[in-house]
Chains A and B, each alone.
Chain A
Amino acid sequence: MRAANATEGKSVDFSKVKNLKAQPPLALLGGLRGAALLAAQRAATLDTDKAIEHLDLAFSAAAALASDPSQTSSSTSAAIAKELVPALQAIAKRNDITKERREKLEAIVNRISRTDSFGFTASLAAEREQVNDRLLICVDRQDRDAIEYKIQHCRADWLLAMRLVTDKEFSQQIEDAGELVDTTDLFPADHLKALAQSREEWSPLRFWILREYDSRKIFDLKKLTQANIPPLRDPMLDMFAGQDTLSQLDEALRDK
């Protein structure tokens, strides 16, 4: 298997990976972040051409997560990019960085799109749609309008929490996580615990909703949209931090 295979794909949707069933979502995020860091660490020990190749793989991992339509992936992608700044700075400062090599480095950094950096906007839109679909499964016209309005105008952190409450298991920590793949700095354990409790509280209700849906009864979901779902993290803050990171990456590439 070659790096090219993994880095060629422009858009990635991890929700469609079948074998993720056996892999908690946090392991995917932590694992890719760890792989990017690993590649960057190894880059530091290699000659410049090899180092650039390794940096390419690290940025590819960030770009793959950026293209995944999920806010947790976008936040992780931004975190990876931030961690790659020192590695890029170190390589860009090497004496044997020619014009050609610098252009390669620029192309690598540009794997992170500037139009929707780290995919936050696309992720937000995708999650709005997902939560909308899930919550609107069985409401009458009046409630539908209210819930749609709420979802269209809600904060990104609320939407993320709501998706995780109505979505698959996210609170499962990586089993026996090592330093490299640990994600507690991004998704703190107590936040995950609160989210899990919330899911616990709402899951029986979800089954009830679905059962009622079968008999075409109407259920008022406004209660759920008004519930105090604990935030996991604020993707909007990550988006702004990501802009700073991009500036640092651009700065590192400037010919000095």
Chain B
Amino acid sequence: MTVRSNETPNGIFDSFNEYGKFTQLHHSTDLSPAEMESMREILERLKPALDLAAQAAAQKNMDFGLDLMTTPERQLWGEAKVMRDTALMILHRGDMQQTDGDTQAFIDAQRVAVGIATQIGQEKEINGSILANSVACKSHERVQELIEQGEVSSIQAKELLEALKPASGHDPFNYVGTAMLAYERMETALSKDKEQGKSLQEWAETTDDGNGIHLPEGSENLTLENLSQSLQKWKPIYGMYDQAMRETDPKKAQAMIDAAEQIADSLPELDRLARPAWLAYHKYFELRIEDEQKMADLTRMLTKIGEDPLAADKFRSPANLWARVAAQTCALPKDSQIALKDGELAGTGTRRAVHQAGQQMPGEL
């Protein structure tokens, strides 16, 4: 699939101007029936777009047609951000469908979201990898919550495993190579600026995607040639980042990142001026390691539930169980509650209510 030039770069959501409204409502803790209805209406209106996105997510290959070496960073991922928002909307819709009792629709939503994440993560550029990872994490969190609620059956666990598969394993979102790409982007941009005869001051004013950076004291007499020499010192460090991303053992990968950071910290301030792209590069790599660990744990849980239906109980969070007990107690008929409070267990209907509650509640009350 190829993304064509986008005449409405912000895509479907800005045209409806409803994504913001939807997420605001979705994050509210106390929705009125009218607000719930409003959410459903928004989703209903966006249904054709979301269904189309689901079809697109099933495509295996994605080509954004980006020139990764020369396109300014902020212009790289306009379409991907729309894709991320679409994936989040689909996940929101899945949540509501699950609340309505349609767990299959919830599973389908995870499949679509992970499909979109995988597509975003195909370009081997750090921003795409981060976006893709963030979408996948949103899906993983939801599945984790469902497991903690004890709502995943054996069959559903197997389906969820299948749905999440593209986002599991080592480096599903192509972080490997993104550090060297950032280095090469910086090298290319510097060469171009040197060819144009720019001074260090002029470079500083336009770098960082046009935001500009502040030059430290002592850099007055430096030139772009000096900056190029400083940049060379970052090559092995960025090489270490990439090596860390190739490492499958999380502890070893983290140790490599720490070692790279130690070297980076030891560089003089003026050399640090030449650090390519993201200052917090290592943080994103650390997050990837952490998220892959979480995904591995999630996979283990789903596999166990898939193999043994009783395993679902082991992963159920006690808070969820108690919340359910509370909800069921609140649902007891008012009349029986008065009698119970007074200790009159023999009243008409009371025994039945207690018996029913006992059957519904944990512990056979």
Contact = CB atoms under 8 A, between A and B. Distances in A.
Interface of A: 1-9, 12-14, 16-24, 27-32, 34-35, 37-39, 41-42, 44-45, 53-54, 57, 61, 64, 68, 168-169, 172, 174, 176-181
Nearest to A39: B365
Contacts of B99: 19, 22
A176 B322 CA distance: 20
A168 B330 CA distance: 20
A169 B31 CA distance: 10
Contact of B319 (A16, A30, A45, A53): A16
Closest 6 CB pairs of A and B: A31-B326, A3-B363, A9-B318, A178-B337, A180-B337, A179-B341
Contacts of A169: 29-30
Contacts of A174: 330
Contacts of B362: 1-3, 5-6, 57
B340 A35 contact: no
Given A6-B318, A38-B329, A178-B334, 10 more contacts: A1-B362, A2-B363, A16-B317, A19-B149, A22-B99, A23-B326, A28-B322, A41-B354, A57-B365, A179-B342
A44 B340 CA distance: 12
Q: Which of A14, A31, A64, A174 counts the most B-chain CB atoms under 10 A from its CB?
A: A31
A13 to B, nearest CB: 6
Contact of B337 (A1, A19, A168, A179): A179
B227 interface: no
21 contacts: A1-B150, A2-B362, A2-B363, A3-B362, A6-B322, A9-B319, A22-B99, A28-B322, A31-B327, A32-B326, A37-B340, A37-B341, A38-B354, A38-B357, A39-B363, A41-B343, A42-B365, A53-B363, A168-B30, A178-B333, A178-B334
Contacts of A61: 322, 325
Given A5-B316, A27-B330, A42-B358, A17 B340 contact: no
Contacts of B30: 21, 24, 168-169, 172
B355 to A, nearest CB: 10
B327 A6 contact: no
Nearest to B31: A21
B329 A180 contact: yes
A23 B325 contact: no
Contacts of A34: 326, 329-330, 332, 337
B248 to A, nearest CB: 31
B184 interface: no
A168 B30 CA distance: 8
A1 B31 CA distance: 30
B364 interface: yes
A56 to B, nearest CB: 8
A36 to B, nearest CB: 9
Given A2-B363, A54-B365, A179-B337, A19 B320 contact: yes
Contact of A23 (B316, B323, B337, B340): B323
